[in-house]
Structure 1
Amino acid sequence: MDIPKQIEAYINSHPEAKRNDMQTLHHMILELNPACQLWFLDGKNSEGKVVSNPNIGYGQLNIRYADGTSKPFYQIGMSANTSGISVYIMGIKDKTYLPKTFGEKLGKASVTGYCIKFKALKDIDTEILKATVEFGFNNQN
């Protein structure tokens, strides 16, 4: 199955309210960067064991590891979790930047060094979330 179909199937696998929010987010992210590379990670490791929630990814950056190796990865990620949705902004060196810059403005969201977690879109300021995603696409750390 190709990546757009995997993404569609993943979004459609959720209950209606979460599905609608994920679809809205998916379209919002694509509007901000229509030509970005799409990713779908099923959450399984090389042995087929589930190690994380499935993720939809947008854009591309190179993740650099402490041992000097690197690999391509997405810039922006989205995933359903047990209590709502997580949006990941990858590649930020300053792990205090997201919480300090966007945390209080977002509304009912938990903001860490690279993850924004919220229950539903109605609980957050989507314009601030858009600004966060735009920052993620433009951040070339």
Structure 2
Amino acid sequence: MNIKAEIKAYIDSQVDQKRADMEALHNRIRHIFPKCRLWFLDGKDDNGKTVTNPNIGYGLQTMKYANGATKEFYQIGISANTIGISVYIIGIQDKTYLSKTYGDKLGKASITGYCIKFKTLEDIHMDILELAIRDGVEQTK
């Protein structure tokens, strides 16, 4: 199965509201970054054990580790979780940046160093989420 088909199958597997929100968010990110690389991580390790929720990824950055190793990875990710949806903005160095910059403006969401979690798209201000996504991509170019 190709990546686009895996993404479609993952979105289609969600319950009604979450499926509609995931599809809307996926389409919005694709509109913002139409030529970005797409990723799909099924959440399983090399042994086939589930270790995380599946993720749809967008963009490309080279992650640099303290030991000098590097790894290509996405810049933005989305994932369904038990309560709603998580948006990952990977690679921002200041782990307080998202909450300080967007926390009061975003709506009903919890924000950690690189994750914005909310129940439905109706709970957040999509224009502010888009600003955070664009900002994260800009910081990880």
TM-score range, shorter chain: over 0.9
2:108 touches 2:118 (CA, 8 Å); kept in 1? Answer: yes
Aligned: 1:35 with 2:35? yes
The percentage of aligned residue pairs carrying the same residue is: 58
User: Deviation string for 1:56-104 (max 9, x for gaps)?
Assistant: 0000001112211110000000000000000000110011100000011
1:48-127 → structure 2 map (5 Å cutoff) = 48-127=48-127
1:121-136 → structure 2 map (5 Å cutoff) = 121-136=121-136
2:75 touches 2:136 (CA, 8 Å); kept in 1? Answer: yes
Aligned match of 2:22: 22
TM-score scaled by length of structure 2:
0.98
Distance, in Å, in 2 between the alignment partners of 1:127 and 1:4 is: 25
2:75 touches 2:140 (CA, 8 Å); kept in 1? Answer: no
Amino acid at match of 2:58: Y
2:108 touches 2:123 (CA, 8 Å); kept in 1? Answer: yes
* Aligned structure 1 segments of 4 or more residues deviating by more than 2 angstroms: none
Amino acid at match of 1:75: Q
Distance, in Å, in 1 between the alignment partners of 2:68 and 2:49 is: 27
Distance, in Å, in 2 between the alignment partners of 1:140 and 1:48 is: 30
Distance, in Å, in 1 between the alignment partners of 2:18 and 2:140 is: 31
- Aligned residue for 2:30, secondary structure, equals helix
Stretches of structure 1 lacking an aligned partner (at least 5 in a row): none
- Aligned residue for 1:23, secondary structure, equals helix
Amino acid at match of 1:8: K
How many residue pairs were aligned? 141
TM-score scaled by length of structure 1:
0.98
Distance, in Å, in 2 between the alignment partners of 1:103 and 1:90 is: 17
Amino acid at match of 1:55: N
RMSD in angstroms over aligned alpha carbons?
0.8
Distance, in Å, in 1 between the alignment partners of 2:83 and 2:52 is: 15
How far is 1:123 from its partner? 0.3
2:53 touches 2:80 (CA, 8 Å); kept in 1? Answer: yes
Stretches of structure 2 lacking an aligned partner (at least 5 in a row): none
